[in-house]
A and B are shown apart, each in its own frame.
Chain A
Amino acid sequence: MRVALFITCLADQFYAEAGVAAVRLLRALGVEVDFPEGQTCCGQPAFNAGYWDEARPLAKRTLEVFEEAEYVVLPSGSCASMVKNHYPELLPGNREALAMAEKTYELSQFLVRVLGVEKLGEGLKGRKVAYHHGCHALRELGVREEPLLLLQNAGAEVLPWEAWEECCGFGGLFSVKLPEVSLAMADRKLATLPEAEVLTSTDAGCLLHLSGRMGKKGLGLRVAPLATLLWEAYAG
């Protein structure tokens, strides 16, 4: 099986090691991984902000870049949802958009639903993990159980967290258009954070926002993308 990795721009720039982790993990599971040259951004920031004319060319070129792929896997729930749910909307009647939607998965979703892998290893034994449900992964892709299953089966203790399904306040452009509200949302989320060793999520944007906020508030907690933790689950 061959997978084309869509790293997405935020992870490429800010969580590069998550990409490495995803590649290693997929290869370890017997999957061949491509990294199609020429990929940049899925266009989500422009699309969500209303600039569809700016988003459309980015969507089109992403379709071209991944045209040949058997599966497209992203270590990001919101970008996966952009491709799966919003490309067909942004490019109505475009067959390639529908085809790409069909073969696109968020990483944990791909592992569980396509590969049928539910246990990666025991590398997270005894680790206390706080999981933040990224909104688009949760509500647009329906990724709810997969990350939890993989973390728990690797021995992690996923801590109960009252606000884990609540939006962290990132929201792309929202975080800079309405910074005060965005920060208030992060604070509310963090106020209920359990005492964990590591905070993880499918989405780089949420993590960037939350870890920045934690830094400002002097909360020293490791923040790691889900892909990184899943590799640790496998490799120990």
Chain B
Amino acid sequence: MRAKAKLYPKEAARLLREKPGVREAVTGATLHFERNRLKAYAEVPIEEWRERAKAVKDHVLTHLDHYLELAERRLRENGVQVHWAETPEDAHRVLREVVHRRGVKRAVKAKSMLTEELGVNPLLESLGVEVYETDLGEYLIQLLGEPPSHIVGPAIHLSLGEIQKLFHARFGTPLDASPEALAQVARRVLREAFLSAELGLSGANFLVAETGTLALMENEGNIRLSTSLPKVHVAFVGIEKLLPRFADLALFLPLTARAATGQRLATFVSLIQGPAREGEEGPEEVHVVLVDHGRTALLHDLEAWETLRCLRCGACLNACPVYRQTGGHPYGYVYSGPIGAVLDPGLLGLEEAYPLPYASTLCGACYEACPVKIPIPRLLLTWRHRAAEEGLTPSWEHGAMRAFRKVMESPALYRLFSKGLRGLPLPQDLLPLLRAWTEGRGPLRPSPKPFHELWKEVADGR
């Protein structure tokens, strides 16, 4: 997917103006997830879980070469074909080869953010392959030609009414069809696709190095079908998704489910251990594509590497009051919300993602929610610092900050400014800031006298 992160401020404003329904839908859905998460966290010693999960992830990330080699060996022993993809093009090459060799006409695809990152759908379409997103939400946005709005709930920004309209136009269902009836229709279409597809695509929630096991979590059953019915299964796995031991799943599966949706465990968990053996049903070929796409570079960034602990659970999005106003689209990249604001600069480069670290009030709700304790507010500060250092911030802003520093460095100037605030004209540099403030909130009304003047009165009257 091409990043449009640069447009964030404009797009966020436009969306709020033009599509107020999105705000309503997203706020409703995220608050629902958030309440469920809080309940689910409260049932377990969550601080211990978070601490342990963080420690496991830190261990695996700081010994990544070792675990990647181990995973590759185990996967091969299990009969899986392993590929390394440093770039999206590398990943495309693997897919192209499979499509040509197996004469693939139709592919079913389980929801995966990494495949969005790699642009798998446009590639397959360019090869003449029909792709079906099989996750219901993902299918909806595929029909609309939109990118996902949320890591876990891609269609979180749509209201029931919009989905009814979409299905009415596509499949002729009544405009007041129930959600169940709509799901029935989707199921019918997708079932047909499952049975006829030659290729199944998926991502992975985890890859266990010790056993070469792919772990996939879902609630709809479509991943199971995507990875078991077609003759070929290709899984794209970010290299940060590794876990050392099989036993680690006992922590990470319930923790991720609790963080994401407030469930104790996902409805379906698939543990994939290679292609079908003699006499078994299942795919003849399983491919695992280990994808870098900027991750190694981020891992070597001493101030930002912790971002890679991310489990893509979406809890930080649900907790984020900024995300709630607009959903994910204005962020302009696959990963939106608080994690997007710190992951996108890491993966795309800060220049590409520049405004995103500013898409936060630093309220800290994301950090509180994150199951692996990624210090998102601290990372936001780091990226902002770099943005200012690299001169990416607007010059009026830098000017205003310099003026601010000048004033605050000198008590005499500060007192002069204080007088100015109560009558004299303000410095030019501050004007755009002031206008942006007063438009929605009315004029600033300073106290009749500042405290530093009142102090003299209080001090004398003791």
Contact = CB atoms under 8 A, between A and B. Distances in A.
Please indicate whether A and B come from the same complex rather than being unrelated chains: yes
Contact of A171 (B361, B381, B388, B444): B361
A136 B367 CA distance: 12
A139 B363 contact: yes
The contact size tier of chain B is: 35 or more
A81 to B, nearest CB: 10
Contacts of A178: 9, 12-13, 322, 358-359
A106 B386 CA distance: 30
Contact of A20 (B16, B322, B451): B451
A183 B321 CA distance: 12
A24 B459 CA distance: 10
Contacts of B389: 50
Interface stretch (A114-122, A124-132, A147-155, A208-216): A208-216
A46 B363 contact: no
Interface in A151-176: 166-167, 169-176
Contacts of A185: 321-322, 325, 361
A50 to B, nearest CB: 3
Chain A CB within 10 Å, residue with most, of B9, B402, B418, B440: B440
A188 interface: yes
B411 A40 contact: yes
Interface stretch (B88-96, B102-110, B431-439): B431-439
Given A51-B388, A135-B361, A175-B437, A12 B322 contact: no
A123 interface: no
Given A7-B452, A183-B440, A184-B325, A171 B363 contact: yes
Contacts of B386: 50
Nearest to A138: B364
A58 B411 CA distance: 11
Contacts of A24: 458
Nearest to A41: B408
A140 B368 CA distance: 11
A50 B381 contact: yes
Contacts of B36: none
Interface in A1-17: 7, 9, 11-17
Nearest to A39: B411
A213 B414 CA distance: 27
A23 interface: yes
Interface in A184-206: 184-185, 188
Given A13-B450, A45-B404, A139 B9 contact: no
Consensus secondary structure, chain B interface? helix
Interface in B405-462: 405, 407-411, 414, 418, 421, 432-433, 436-437, 439-442, 444-455, 458-459, 462
Interface in B386-400: 386-389, 393, 397-398
Give the secondary structure class of A's interface: helix
Given A13-B418, A50-B381, A19 B360 contact: no
A50 B12 contact: no
A16 B404 contact: no
A176 to B, nearest CB: 4
B205 interface: no
A93 interface: no
A181 B12 contact: yes
A199 B368 CA distance: 25
A134 B54 CA distance: 28
A176 B321 CA distance: 17
B384 A48 contact: yes
Interface in B300-339: 321-322, 324-326
A215 B436 contact: no
Nearest to B8: A178
Contacts of B409: 40, 57-58, 61
A180 B361 contact: no
Contacts of A57: 405, 409
B23 A184 contact: yes
A7 B389 CA distance: 30
Given A12-B418, A40-B408, A51-B401, A215 B447 contact: no
B82 interface: no
Given A35-B455, A139-B368, A48 B381 contact: yes
B441 A20 contact: no
Nearest to B449: A16
A234 interface: no
B360 A49 contact: no
A184 B451 contact: no
A179 B381 CA distance: 20
B39 interface: no
Contacts of A95: none
B19 interface: no
B188 interface: no
Contact of B388 (A45, A52, A138, A183): A52
Point out which of A11, A38, A179 has the most chain B C-beta atoms below 10 A from its C-beta.
Answer: A179
B101 interface: no
Given A39-B411, A188-B325, 8 more contacts: A17-B454, A40-B410, A49-B388, A50-B384, A54-B404, A169-B321, A181-B12, A188-B27
19 contacts: A7-B451, A9-B414, A12-B418, A12-B451, A16-B454, A35-B455, A39-B411, A40-B407, A46-B404, A52-B385, A57-B409, A58-B408, A175-B436, A176-B433, A181-B325, A183-B440, A213-B441, A216-B440, A216-B441
Interface of B: 9, 12-13, 16-17, 23, 27, 321-322, 324-326, 357-365, 367-368, 381, 383-389, 393, 397-398, 401-402, 404-405, 407-411, 414, 418, 421, 432-433, 436-437, 439-442, 444-455, 458-459, 462
